[in-house]
Chains A and B, each alone.
Chain A
Amino acid sequence: MFRRVLIANRGEIAVRIIRACHELGVEAVAVYSEADRDALHARLADYAYEIGPAPAAQSYLRADAMLEAARAAGAEAIHPGYGFLAENAGFAQACAAAGVVFVGPSPEALALMGDKLAARKLAAQVGVLTAPGTLEPVGDIDALAAAREIGFPLLIKAAAGGGGKGMRAVRSEEELITALTQARSEASSSFGEGSVYLERLIERPRHIEVQLFGDGRGRVVHLGERECSIQRRYQKVVEESPAPGLPTEVRARLWASAVRLAAAAKYGGAGTIEFLHEPSSGECYFLEMNARLQVEHPVTEQVTGVDLVQAQLRLAAGESLDDALGEYTVGGSAHAIEVRVSAEDPDGQWFPSTGTIQLLREPGGPGIRMDSACEPGLEVGVHYDPLLSKLIAWGRSRDEAIGRLRRALDEYILTGVRTTLPFHRWLVRDEGFLAGDFSTAFIAEQWRPEERAEPPPGVRGAAQAALMSQRDEQRRRRQVTPTGGASPTSAWRRAGRAEG
């Protein structure tokens, strides 16, 4: 095993990887931007290196800064987490050239899967179904002809894309050119590369993905599937494993297709193949491969028993696939669900919210796992992804997992920024969700924050009473210190003063 590993990431995933390092007796090296000097990951790590200003392009996206920190720290390997440099083939190559192990697939596999069109071609070669569409990037002129052939509605997708960025749904010819321009502009600002392609839009599909683990020489095993249909603008919001109510035959087909495709790519390490399942036809279309650890990896860990991050590190350190994974269970009745708690306002248009975390109580208890880097006083800014934490609940059945999740969500307190918690609390009480009856259109079709039921009088009374108490307290304080009105001092500091 390695002696020291650098984590080229921040936030909850950096904390997650540091934990795996420490569990394996490996020293963790953190990197952080100027905005993250007080961040949890920089404190939990054994060594920490400042790598630049807050904007990701000047810090977490800088391959040279990562390699320089790895060299200075004497780290033998770099774990990229997800996002940032995780799927950057050039970075993986630079690591190899610098004699540092990149914890992930080979640069060749990364380049292949990072090119969405090349991945589509490979899928077609090994007999894995893909959604009808173009196999080449499209310009404005050929786009119209191609679009007519595919038919509307269709999707514009970024060839270098992922995470819904640079993606647009188009329902008619008139919308096509505007949407192409928007998609290209978003794709170049997100990926530095603006080429896009077209694909038939599968209406109301389920998004199901298969977790894979390969040895890089053609042997690949799967760790079951995840259901990720609860999405908003192609961003996953809730994930679970196994997929509820999926026919056995469909599940077996998904597993086999995913293994076949990843084996053909000689994929090494943890990866995920995403499919769109069309319940009406029973078809499963290959969507893309994510050549990295996924945000939602914990649900697979909770039902299979594998620690995916430890397994990644073991494999990268030279252990065999079987030794790296250890014993695990696939296809059992255990169930896990993850909700992504983000700094976004679900009552508005899910706009990102910024601020400083004031009160924080993360839930615990039976069947609950929190992957988080939140602390009171944490500033949630504009520079990074709005993900705050992941709350994972598991049980012997889906019902048991949901019962625990509902309870944990009600215990969860986070103030200072708007979060997606109110959405999650609604979701775990929605009959459609409870019945496992949903598609990727679920949020757009079902979430109506303005129609939410009025809270009972007792709840409203309690809220009002607490508010009055706070106002009285503030008025009393203002009378004591007449200059203190509208002071920008934080509530925490005010409390310290009142008590001291």
Chain B
Amino acid sequence: MSDAPHVRPIRPGLYRVTLGNKSYEVALDIEPGEETTGVAFVDGAAVPVRWEDPLRRALAAAAGGGPTARSGAVTIAAPMPGRIVSVAVEAGAVVERGQVVIVLEAMKMESAIAAPHAGTVTEILVVPGQPVRQRQALLRIDSGV
């Protein structure tokens, strides 16, 4: 077990990790919660990290895959807080991958939000002029897969 990493917590989120005598500095930048996703900065290099509670994973597997099993449905969420400028599609519309579905204004810039894959718009959850929070659900698309 000479290769087992040794972790020394320095401050919350900051660690010194040694593998033998090789030394790394790791800064963790993660969303708090049961399921952890985020970024670890290792001597500056960004490494995406993901950690799922083993118990929850086991329960989800027992329940037949859980909510993520509907792989064809995707919810588009606001990438940042702002205000909806326009909604370019209607419920029931068929959209292409990359097609602009919503225009959001934040920090005085208008940003177009595109469909991540082709599919049918099943639900529109916002109206033009509406302020939205970061990660608020805006629209659902089902690829029908």
Contact = CB atoms under 8 A, between A and B. Distances in A.
B76 to A, nearest CB: 12
A122 to B, nearest CB: 28
Given A352-B106, A386-B107, A491-B12, A467 B19 contact: no
Nearest to B9: A469
B91 interface: no
B111 A351 contact: yes
Interface residues of A, number: 52
Interface in A178-219: 182, 185-186, 189-190
Interface in A377-436: 382, 384-386, 409-413, 415-416, 418, 421-422, 425
27 contacts: A185-B85, A189-B108, A190-B108, A345-B79, A348-B79, A349-B111, A352-B107, A359-B13, A359-B27, A382-B80, A382-B82, A382-B107, A384-B107, A410-B43, A413-B25, A413-B27, A413-B41, A415-B13, A416-B29, A418-B39, A425-B45, A455-B45, A462-B19, A463-B40, A468-B7, A469-B15, A471-B51
A466 B44 contact: no
A471 B79 CA distance: 27
A292 interface: no
Contacts of A353: 80
Contacts, number: 131
Mostly, the B contact residues are strand
A216 B80 CA distance: 44
B5 A462 contact: yes
A161 to B, nearest CB: 12
Nearest to A487: B32
B49 interface: yes
A464 B81 contact: no
Given A409-B44, A410-B43, A165 B5 contact: no
A279 interface: no
Shortest beta-carbon contacts, A-B, top 3: A410-B44, A463-B40, A415-B29
A459, A467, A473, A494 interface centre (most CB from chain B within 10 Å): A467
B47 A354 contact: no
Interface in A452-500: 455, 458-471, 473, 486, 491-492, 494-495
Contacts of A468: 7, 51
A415 B17 contact: no
A491 B5 contact: no
Contacts of A471: 36, 51
Interface string B30-71: 101110100111111111010100000000000000000000
Contacts of B22: 458
B2 interface: no
B45 A466 contact: no
A352 B80 contact: yes
B145 interface: no
A459 B24 contact: yes
Contacts of A461: 5, 17, 19
A354 B81 contact: yes
